[in-house]
């Protein structure tokens, strides 16, 4: 049988449809890769191999990805009967299992995907690295001394190393795009409301969280988006339906676009490493070679103070509410020893806030979003191009808690989310494309942002870049 490690999900599904492989063969091959490589990565923390075999024995739906193995993140959605710990040591200690299944996972399985395990994540998704006290660090397959990003770091490391072709991911401040950049993958954050967060979540982080996947190919991302998109009963918000399948946008002509390039961090809140700025500038030259116009320009609102101040009010309130839910699950009060210092600090801050302050912060984020998005309307731009991160993937431990410098780990996260977070606030679709590697062999992603609802345009441009500058042949040192 064909070597499956670096075949994308579309190609693996074609093997099954053509009778060249069975679902059991695909799944068993993925299990073998996980068993062989995961000890070096610590990316998969909950193997679900028996569940996967049971799904095959029961008969898989005849969907577009029938028999293709997939990993799902241990956060951003529950899977009934499976561990759900979110990187938290108390949930791990009580061996909490999910009582329900997210619509997203239901749709994955209805499309024929076979879930083979759950991936490592930082505690409650608060950090752009994956290094929880509960499960230890996930390692970047390009350099195992470095982080694979977060909070979907386990998922990204798994796909980059060839364990599975696709893995579920979620993004509240960059958690699809950051690990995609760190691991040399394609990561598309859809428009707010494109994919349902239900039935357990109506909104998360004041509606800044969205969910999708990390992939090696653009066509896989587009086809998975076709599977996952669409409103479900009770959704708090939903995006306008697309005019056609996203998979049809792969290879379609995006036209001649006007693109703004911005390599300076918003409000200069982080120094941008020259290698990250150079990657975005190289992407700009490649876009110009494809016929697009690129000029230095960006929304002026990116330099306003409102964004960061209001975001941390929301984050603190979410942390406080999260610990109250944790106490309900555990059946006892949560103590400082039950969570990591950063989580506890956010929750303690949240306790000092009033309801009025939270409402005011959310309104400030909405107002800031309108000022930011006016750039696409009033200034006539199609896309904004930035670095995905302001620094290359950090050394593991660099974002760790230091009792001598309380709060350092939160501040140290800033360079990795400063370019991505603004577009969780606005709800716009954004993607990280893996076009550049540093001299030391580390992937360096570039971010492109479109207007609300224009995932189709991002997929067209990503496909154009992928064709002109293929990245699928790049394989990390640690791989299946």
Give 397-419 pLDDT, tens digit per residue: 999 998 889 889 988 999 999 99
Task: Supply the pLDDT for residue 178.
Answer: 98
Catalytic member of 132, 147, 151, 152: 151
Going along 128-235, which residue ranges are E strands? 131-132, 136-137, 166-171, 186-189, 210-215
pLDDT band at 307 (very low <50, low <70, confident <90, very high): confident
Catalytic pick from 73, 92, 107, 189?
A: 73
The pLDDT value given to residue 87? 98
Mean pLDDT on 203-224? 97
Residue 72 β-bridge partners: 118
**175 in active site:** yes
Provide the CB-side half-sphere exposure for 6 (13 A, CA): 12
Residue 120 phi/psi, 5-degree rounding, is -65, 145
Domain 9-395+408-468: CATH class, spelled out: alpha beta
Mean pLDDT of the chain: 97
The predicted pLDDT at position 363 comes to 97
Residue 247 is among the residues annotated as catalytic for this protein: no
Q: What percent of the chain has pLDDT above 90? A: 95
Strands 383-387 and 443-449: antiparallel
pTM for this entry: 0.98
Residue 156, helix vs strand vs coil: helix
Catalytic residue among 132, 147, 152, 175: 175
Q: What is the pLDDT of residues 145-171, one digit of tens each?
A: 999 999 999 999 999 999 999 999 999
Q: Above 80 in pLDDT, residue 1? A: no
Q: Compute φ and ψ for 373, nearest 5 degrees.
A: -70, -20
Contacts (Cβ under 8 Å, ≥6 apart) of 203? 197, 209, 236, 237
Of 247, 219, 226, give the one whose Cα is nearest residue 8.
219
> So where are the chain's domains?
9-395+408-468
| pLDDT exceeds 80 at position 2 | no
Residue 454 has pLDDT above 70, yes or no: yes
Is residue 176 within 8 Å of residue 221, measured between CB atoms? no
Task: Please state whether beta strands 114-119 and 69-73 pair in parallel, antiparallel, or not at all (unpaired).
Answer: parallel
Report the pLDDT value the prediction gives residue 459, as an integer from 0 to 100.
Answer: 99
3-state secondary structure of 436: strand
For the residues of 267-279, what is the DSSP string, one character each? GG-SPPPHHHHHH
Residue 139 to residue 134: CA distance in whole angstroms: 15
Q: In this model, does residue 367 exceed pLDDT 70?
A: yes
Residue 44's pLDDT is: 99
Cβ burial of 331 (10 Å; 0-12, 13-18, 19+) is: exposed
Give the C-alpha separation, 180 to 189, whole Å.
Answer: 11
Query: What's the pLDDT tens digit per position in 331-346?
Result: 999 999 999 999 999 9
Q: What distance, in Å, lies between the first and last C-alpha atoms of the chain?
A: 16
**What is the pLDDT, as a whole number, of residue 66?**
98
107 is catalytic: no
The residues near 101 (Cβ < 8 Å, ≥ 6 apart) are 78, 79, 80
């Amino acid at each position: 049988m064909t070597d499956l490690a670096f075949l994308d999900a579309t190609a693996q599904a074609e093997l099954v449809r053509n009778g060249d492989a069975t679902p059991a063969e695909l799944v068993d091959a993925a299990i073998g890769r996980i068993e062989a490589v995961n000890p070096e990565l610590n990316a998969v923390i909950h193997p679900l191999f028996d569940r996967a075999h049971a799904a095959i024995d029961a008969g898989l739906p005849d969907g577009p990805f029938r028999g293709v193995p997939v990993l799902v993140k241990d956060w951003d959605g529950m899977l009934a009967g499976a561990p759900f710990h979110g990187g938290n040591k108390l949930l791990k200690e009580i061996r909490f299992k999910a009582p329900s299944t997210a619509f997203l996972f239901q749709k994955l399985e209805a499309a024929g995907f076979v879930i083979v395990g759950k991936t490592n994540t930082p505690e409650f998704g608060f950090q752009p690295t994956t290094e929880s006290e509960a499960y230890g660090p996930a390692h970047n397959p390009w350099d195992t001394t470095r982080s694979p990003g977060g909070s979907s770091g386990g998922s990204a490391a798994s796909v980059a190393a060839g364990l599975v072709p696709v893995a579920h991911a979620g993004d509240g401040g960059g958690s699809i795009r950051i690990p995609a950049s760190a691991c040399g993958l394609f990561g598309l954050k859809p428009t707010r409301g494109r994919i349902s967060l239900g039935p357990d979540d109506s909104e998360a982080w004041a509606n800044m969280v969205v969910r999708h996947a990390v992939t090696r190919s653009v066509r896989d991302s587009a086809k998975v988006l076709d599977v996952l998109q669409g409103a479900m009963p009770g959704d708090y918000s939903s995006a306008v339906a697309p005019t056609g399948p996203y998979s049809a946008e792969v290879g379609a002509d995006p036209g001649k676009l006007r693109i703004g390039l911005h390599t300076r961090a918003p409000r200069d809140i982080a120094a941008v490493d020259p290698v990250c700025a150079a990657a975005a500038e190289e992407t700009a030259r490649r876009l110009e070679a494809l016929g697009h116009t690129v000029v230095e320009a960006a929304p002026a609102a990116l330099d306003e103070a409102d964004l960061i101040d209001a975001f941390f009010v929301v984050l603190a309130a979410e942390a406080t509410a999260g610990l109250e839910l944790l106490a309900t699950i555990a059946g006892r009060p949560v103590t400082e020893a039950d969570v990591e210092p950063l989580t506890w600090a956010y929750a303690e801050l949240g306790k000092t806030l009033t309801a009025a302050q939270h409402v005011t912060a959310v309104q400030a984020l909405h107002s800031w979003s309108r000022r930011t998005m006016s750039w696409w309307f009033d200034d006539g731009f199609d896309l904004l191009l930035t670095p995905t991160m302001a620094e290359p993937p950090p050394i593991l431990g660099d974002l760790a808690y230091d009792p001598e410098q309380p709060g350092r780990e939160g501040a140290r996260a800033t360079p990795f989310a400063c370019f991505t977070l603004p577009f969780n606030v606005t709800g716009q679709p954004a993607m990280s494309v893996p076009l550049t590697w540093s001299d030391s062999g580390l992937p360096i992603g570039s971010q492109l942002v479109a207007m609300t609802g224009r995932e189709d345009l991002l997929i067209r441009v990503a496909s154009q870049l992928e064709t002109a500058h293929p990245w699928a042949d790049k394989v990390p040192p640690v791989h299946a």
